[in-house]
């Protein structure tokens, strides 16, 4: 069997597992995005209790490894199984890796994204906020017309980085949660293939290729969104699209 | 009350727990040596990126793109396995017969089969951590090198220093001030990555937490405890938060020390 043929076989074998990585990322990102906006507003809040609590949450989840967080969530769910999930009859759902995985990822990405949004919130021009208030806008209107558009434009490149890192983090899911039947992600399948014929270079390279290609696709799509967000700016003053570059603050 | 205290004291100091406490050394060793290697790879990478020799520059770019586009777990597993197989292959050239090597089985013959111990896996883990975070360090150092005021380098040249002297006596020494915030970030990432050691069959704190927390039944004592894994993992969760807090303090002091004598805003 030629090398190209072997690579092609691997690409086919890893296509279905790749869907699991995409599922974990796609299911946790929108929820994390929404919660992160709330959490960032909470950290920026003038109420000291809300602000402290939000900061503490963000610090805790950014300051500890996601690997441990997965174990922690899974074991907590496991401990709650006999007292809550089983009596309620939802154990099949609550104990499924397809639920716990996104749960842990949401908790994690919320913290990272909130920190990005909080940084962006602080760059919203004070003058614009005052102008909006002077027009007699309600707080919701100020948020919708001034805070949000400013914040999301500043935060978008960093958020793109966070999305790719979250996608990479999905590789950890099945190292910590039980594998049920055919539900395997890229890393899991690659390890399984490796254990069959010990060809580490082939299987791990193809797995890496999958991550690389999907990462590039994320950058491309988010770059298009960014270009659309920035379409009001004159061409020469438009900032560069987010590219495959370093954002080490946002890794797990 | 007294009985409770005696139970906890005995429980938390039994042999398995002492082994658990001792396993913190793997995490600490991996963090320290991983960081040192990352610094070395980072300096090399930054030099490669600054190189006038194009292929070396491309190598630097490819290195950074690979590390950036591929999850660290994949690298962390791949490097030790690839290294093991490369050594086995080199070994098989001398110890295996030609017909065994022609076959498709791996390893070609039992004599070329290596079994790495914890120490060897720990060294390999340090090297993979060094490779992964070396790319981040290279980026930080590359930026810091460019942040050193040009005037200082020109002053060095005006004193008649050679290019190499300017590099070692002024450029690299002044660079640290600008690199420290970035290096602090990389260190925080690296600490978090040390939690992956158990993937390389090292019995580190994560592995022990799983072992100690599982429901514990002894024929003499009956059920000692049920599933306590959540408590052990929560302790590790808190442990890492405290390490992060402590590291931030240390880096704050280090920055203050490195910046002594400098104007406040620059």
- Put simply, the answer to whether B107 touches A68 (Cβ < 8 Å) is no
Q: What pLDDT shows up at residue A132?
A: 94
Tokens of A47: 């109420």
pLDDT band at B92 (very low <50, low <70, confident <90, very high): confident
Residue A137 phi/psi, 5-degree rounding, is: -75, 150
Identify the closest residue of chain B to A77 by CA–CA distance.
B230
pLDDT band at A238 (very low <50, low <70, confident <90, very high): low
Using the beta-carbon criterion (under 8 Å), do A216 and B69 form an inter-chain contact? yes
Count structural domains, chain B.
1
* SS3 readout for A147-197: HHHHHHHHHHHHHHHHHHHHHHHHHHHHHHCCCCCCCCCHHHHHHHHHHHH
Residues of A in contact with B195 (CB under 8 A): 65, 67-68
| CB neighbours of residue B257 within 10 Å | 9
State the average pLDDT over residues B145-173: 89
Q: Residue B104 domain-assigned?
A: yes
Instruction: Specify the higher pLDDT residue, A214 or B262.
Output: A214
CB-nearest to A72 from B82, B140, B234 is: B234
- Lowest mean pLDDT segment, chosen from A58-62, B54-58, B62-66, B257-261: B62-66
Long-range contact list for A96-103, CB < 8 A, 24+ apart?
Answer: A96/A180, A97/A173, A97/A174, A97/A177, A97/A178, A97/A179, A97/A180, A97/A183, A98/A23, A98/A183, A100/A73, A100/A74, A100/A177, A101/A24, A101/A28, A101/A70, A101/A170, A101/A173, A101/A177, A102/A24, A102/A27, A102/A28, A102/A31, A103/A73
Cβ distance B68 to A65 less than 8 Å, yes or no, reads no
Nearest chain B residue to A215, by CA = B69
How many CB atoms lie under 10 A from the CB of residue A247? Answer: 17
> Which position has the token pair 């203050």?
B256
User: Which residue out of B74, B197, B232 would a mutagenesis test of the A interface target, given it has the greatest number of A Cβ atoms within 10 Å?
Assistant: B74
Q: Is residue B7 part of a domain?
A: no
What local confidence, expressed as pLDDT, does residue A2 receive?
83
pLDDT in the model for residue A251:
45
Contact flag A211-B69 (C-beta cutoff 8 Å):
yes
Q: Which of B71, B81, B139 sits opposite A168 (nearest CB)?
A: B71
| pLDDT score, position B253 | 93
Q: What's the confidence (pLDDT) of residue B63?
A: 79
Is the pLDDT at B186 greater than 50? The verdict is: yes
Let me know: does A166 contact A29? Beta carbons within 8 Å: yes
Q: Which residues of A56-88 are buried (b: 16+ CB within 10 A; e: fewer)?
A: ebbbbbbbbbbbbbbbbbbbbbebeeeeebeee
CB atoms within 10 A of CB B107: 20
In a domain, B25, yes or no: yes
Indicate the residue of B104, B185, B229 with minimum beta-carbon distance to A75: B229
Does residue B263 belong to any structural domain of this protein? no
CATH number, domain of B57, equals 1.10.3720.10
Minimum-distance CB partner of B240 among A65, A199, A244: A65
Q: Could you report the per-residue pLDDT of A153-168, keeping only the tens digit for each?
A: 999 999 998 999 999 9
Q: How confident is the model at residue B218 (pLDDT cuts 50, 70, 90)?
A: confident
Cβ contact B229–A69 (<8 Å): no
In the prediction, which pLDDT does A237 show? Answer: 67
When pLDDT is averaged across residues B108-133 and rounded to a whole number, the result is 87
Contact across the interface for A171 and B81, Cβ inside 8 Å:
no
Cβ contacts of residue A230 below 8 Å, gap of 6+?
Answer: A153, A238, A239
Of B82, B136, B230, nearest to A75 by CB-CB distance is B230
Q: Which residue of B has its CA nearest to A167?
A: B71
Q: Which of B221, B224, B203, B199 is nearest to B213 (CA)?
A: B224
Neighbours of A2 (CB within 10 A): 7
Mean pLDDT calculated for residue range A158-184? 91
Contacts across the A-B interface (CB distance below 8 Å): 127
**Nearest Cβ partner of A211 from B70, B82, B189?**
B70
Size of chain A in residues: 252
Q: Which two tokens stand for residue B156?
A: 């060095």
Q: pLDDT band at residue B188, thresholds of 50, 70 and 90?
A: very high
> Which range marks the domain in which residue B131 is found?
16-205
Helix orientation angle between A97-121 and A3-43, rounded to the nearest 10 degrees: 60
B229 to A215: CB separation less than 8 angstroms, yes or no: no
- Identify all chain A residues contacting B136, using CB atoms and an 8 Å cutoff: 246, 248
* β-strand partners of A188: none
Q: Which domains are assigned to chain A?
A: 3-250 (1.10.3720.10)
pLDDT, tens digit (0-9, with 9 covering 90-100), for B70-85? 888 888 899 998 998 8
* Mutation site for A-interface testing, chosen from B31, B46, B71, B108 by largest number of A Cβ within 10 Å: B71
Name the minimum distance, in Å, from the CA of B204 to any CA of chain A. Answer: 12
* pLDDT tens sequence across A104-118: 999 999 999 999 999
> Which of B69, B227, B241 minimises the CB distance to A63?
B241
B213 lies in some domain? no
In a domain, B166, yes or no: yes
Q: What's the average model confidence in pLDDT over A79-93? A: 89
Interface test with A, best of B31, B69, B87, B241 (most A CBs within 10 A): B69
With respect to residue B215, please indicate whether it lies within any of the assigned structural domains.
no
B162 min Cα distance to partner chain A (Å):
33
Q: What is the mean pLDDT of residues B237-261?
A: 92
pLDDT of A248 strictly over 50: no
Average pLDDT on A185-192 reads 91
> Residues of chain A with pLDDT > 90: what percent?
71
Structural domain contains residue B112 = yes
Taking an 8 Å cut-off on Cβ atoms, the answer to whether A212 and B70 are in contact is yes
Interchain pair B244, A249: CB under 8 A? no
Does A246 contact B82 at a Cβ distance shorter than 8 Å? no
């Amino acid at each position: 069997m030629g090398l190209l043929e072997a690579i092609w076989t691997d690409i086919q074998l890893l296509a279905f597992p790749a869907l699991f990585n995409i599922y974990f990322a796609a299911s946790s990102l929108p929820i994390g995005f929404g919660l992160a906006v709330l959490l960032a507003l909470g950290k920026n809040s003038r109420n000291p209790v809300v602000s402290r609590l939000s900061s503490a949450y963000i610090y805790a989840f950014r300051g500890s490894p996601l690997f441990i967080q997965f174990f922690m969530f899974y074991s907590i769910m496991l401990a709650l199984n006999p007292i809550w999930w089983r009596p309620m009859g939802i154990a099949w759902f609550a104990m499924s890796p397809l639920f716990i995985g996104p749960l842990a990822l949401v908790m994690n990405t919320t913290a990272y994204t909130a920190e990005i949004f909080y940084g962006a919130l602080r760059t919203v021009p004070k003058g614009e906020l005052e102008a909006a208030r002077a027009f007699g806008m309600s707080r919701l209107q100020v948020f919708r017309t001034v805070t949000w558009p400013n914040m999301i434009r500043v935060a978008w490149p960093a958020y793109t980085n966070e999305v790719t890192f979250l996608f990479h983090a999905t590789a950890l899911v099945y190292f910590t949660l039980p594998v049920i039947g055919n539900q395997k992600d890229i890393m899991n399948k690659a390890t399984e293939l490796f254990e069959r014929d010990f060809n580490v270079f082939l299987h791990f390279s193809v797995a890496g290729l999958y991550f690389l290609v999907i990462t590039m696709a994320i950058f491309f799509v988010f770059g298009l969104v960014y270009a659309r967000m920035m379409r009001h700016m004159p061409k020469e003053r438009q900032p560069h699209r987010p590219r495959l570059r370093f954002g080490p603050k946002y890794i797990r | 009350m007294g009985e409770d205290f005696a139970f906890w004291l005995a429980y938390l100091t039994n042999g398995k727990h002492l082994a658990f406490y001792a396993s913190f050394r793997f995490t600490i060793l991996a963090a320290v040596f991983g960081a040192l290697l990352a610094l070395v790879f980072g300096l090399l990478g930054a030099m490669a990126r600054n190189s006038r020799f194009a292929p070396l520059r491309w190598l630097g770019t490819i290195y950074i793109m690979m590390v950036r586009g591929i999850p660290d777990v994949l690298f962390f597993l791949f490097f030790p396995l690839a290294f093991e197989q490369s050594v086995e292959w080199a070994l098989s050239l001398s110890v295996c017969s030609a017909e065994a090597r022609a076959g498709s089985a791996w390893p070609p013959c039992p004599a070329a089969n290596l079994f790495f111990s914890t120490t060897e896996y720990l060294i390999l883990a340090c090297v993979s951590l060094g490779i992964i975070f070396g790319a981040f360090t290279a980026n930080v150092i590359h930026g810091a090198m460019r942040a050193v005021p040009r005037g200082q380098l020109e002053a060095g040249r005006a004193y008649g220093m050679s290019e190499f002297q300017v590099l070692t006596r002024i450029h690299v020494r002044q660079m640290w001030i600008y690199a420290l915030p970035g290096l602090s970030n990389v260190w925080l990432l690296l600490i978090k990555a040390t939690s992956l050691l158990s993937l390389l069959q090292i019995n580190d704190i994560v592995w022990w937490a799983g072992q100690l927390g599982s429901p514990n039944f002894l024929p003499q004592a009956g059920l000692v405890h049920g599933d306590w894994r959540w408590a052990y993992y929560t302790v590790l969760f808190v442990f890492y938060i405290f390490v992060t807090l402590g590291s931030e303090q240390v880096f704050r002091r280090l920055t203050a020390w490195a910046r002594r004598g400098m104007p406040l805003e620059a």
